[in-house]
Amino acid sequence: MKSEVYFSKLSQGQSRSSCFEKLLENLHRHFQQIDKGSLVGIKMTVGDEQSTGYIKPELVRLLVEKVREMGGKPFVFDTNVIYSGHRQNAVDHLNLAYRKGFTPDTLGCPYIIADGIFGTDSLNLKVDFNHIKEIKIPSMIKVLENLIVLTHITGHMMSGFAGSIKNVAMGMATRAGKQIQHSSLKPVIDVDKCTACRSCMEICPAAAISEASGTAYVNTNRCVGCCECISACQLNAVNISWHEDAVIFIERMTEYAAGILVQIKNRIYINFATDITRECDCIAGDDHRIVEDAGILASDDILAVDRASYDLLKGDRDIFSRGGKITVHTHQFQYAQDIKLGKLDYQLKDLPE
C-alpha cells in the first residue's frame, strides 16, 4: 500500500497562513492519535542569525493551536549544534530564537533546547545498523510519545536535499551524536587554489586547521567533520570525496533518523517547500531562491514526504545536485527504504484550492 502525502499548494497571491490552515484541517485523523493531556514535541529550527527562509513563528502558532484544540500539550524544541554560530549552547540559542520572534507569547507554548545548556544531556541507546551502533539523543526523546517534525526544505552542501530525515537525524541528536554522523567527512585542501586567507581557520570550531608552507592544513585527528570550512572558503579550495565520504555520511544520517524515530509512538511530518535556498538554514542568508515556492506537504511516513517534496521541486534537472557530482539524496531515499525507515511509493493527495 502506498503512503499518503497531503499537499496544500501555495497559489499565487495566497497567504502561507491560509495554505497551512488548509493542510492542518485535513490532518484531523492524524491529530486524533494524540492522547488528551499528553505532551507533543514540535521539532523545528530557527536557523542561524543570517537565515531568513525559516518557518516563521506565526505559522508555528497555527500548529500549536491545532494541537491544543485536539487536547495535546505542545512545546517547540531544537538541539544545540557543533559548528560556530549562535546555537552552540542553550543560552545563546534561546536568545537567538527570541530575537527571531520565537517567544512563548508568540508561539503560544514554550520553546526549549532539548539537550541542555551545553548539549550534554545525552542518553546512549544501542541500535544495529551498518554504520551506527549507538545513538546519542536528549533523554526526553526516549519518553516522548508524540512528535511533529516541522521542516523547511532546503539544499545542503553535503546531503544535496535537506528535508525531514535530516531534521530528525541532526536536529534530534545531541552535539556528540551530530559529530558521530559527520565523522566520515574529512575536508582536504586544494593547495593550487588555497591562498592561506585564514577564513577556514577562523571558522573551524575544533581549531583543526592551521597554516603550513603557505597553505591551509587540516589536522584530521582534530577535525569533527562539520564542514564549516567548505562554506567559509570562497575559492573552492576545501573539498571532500563526494563518491565516498558523502555516501557514508548520508547513510549514517539515515540510520540515525531511524534509530530516533523508533522510540516515538505517534509521528507527523510537515515539509514547507517554500523559500528554498541552495544551502541550509544554518548558513543560508538572503541567498536567491533556487526554485519557485510549491506549498506544504504532510505525511506520517518520513520517507514518503521527503520523496514527494523532492519530486515536486527538482524540475527537469536536479536543482539539488552539486555541480554534476553524485546525487547523494537519491541514494538516501533508496537507503531509507532498505532499512525500513519508510516507503518510496506514495500517493499525493492534492487538497482543493
Q: How far apart are CA 105 and CA 111, in angstroms?
A: 10
Q: How many domains does the chain have?
A: 2
- Domain of 204, CATH number, reads 3.30.70.20
Residue 233: predicted pLDDT: 87
Q: Is the pLDDT of residue 324 over 70?
A: no
How many helices and strands (H and E) does the chain possess?
Answer: 13, 16
**DSSP label of 185:** -
What are the cell numbers at 205?
A: 570550531
- Domain harbouring 320, CATH code: 3.40.50.11440
**pLDDT beyond 80 at 322:** no
The predicted-structure confidence for 257-316, as pLDDT tens digits, reads as follows 999 999 999 999 999 999 998 888 877 665 678 899 999 999 999 999 999 999 999 988
Average pLDDT of every residue of the chain: 92
> Grid coordinates standing for 233?
572558503
The yes-or-no verdict on residue 243 having pLDDT over 80 is no
129 shares a domain with 30: yes
Same domain assignment for residues 14 and 107 = yes
| Range 78-106 average pLDDT | 93
Q: Residue 203's pLDDT is what?
A: 85
Residue numbers of the domain that contains 327 = 3-182+244-350
Cβ 343 vs Cβ 337: under 8 Å: yes
Q: What is the predicted pLDDT for the residue at 228?
A: 74
User: Is this model's pTM higher than 0.75 or not?
Assistant: yes
User: What average pLDDT does range 243-270 have in this prediction?
Assistant: 92
pLDDT for position 19: 98
Question: pLDDT value at position 56?
Answer: 98
Is the pLDDT score of 33 beyond 90?
yes
Q: Same domain, yes or no, for 36 and 93?
A: yes
Judge if 150 and 115 occupy the same domain. yes
Based on the fold, state whether residues 178 and 56 are members of the same structural domain: yes
Residue 206 has pLDDT above 80, yes or no: yes
Dist CA 163 CA 170 (whole Å): 11
User: Is 23 within 8 Å of 8 (Cβ atoms)?
Assistant: yes
Measured between alpha carbons, how far is 184 from 120 in angstroms, rounded to an integer?
22
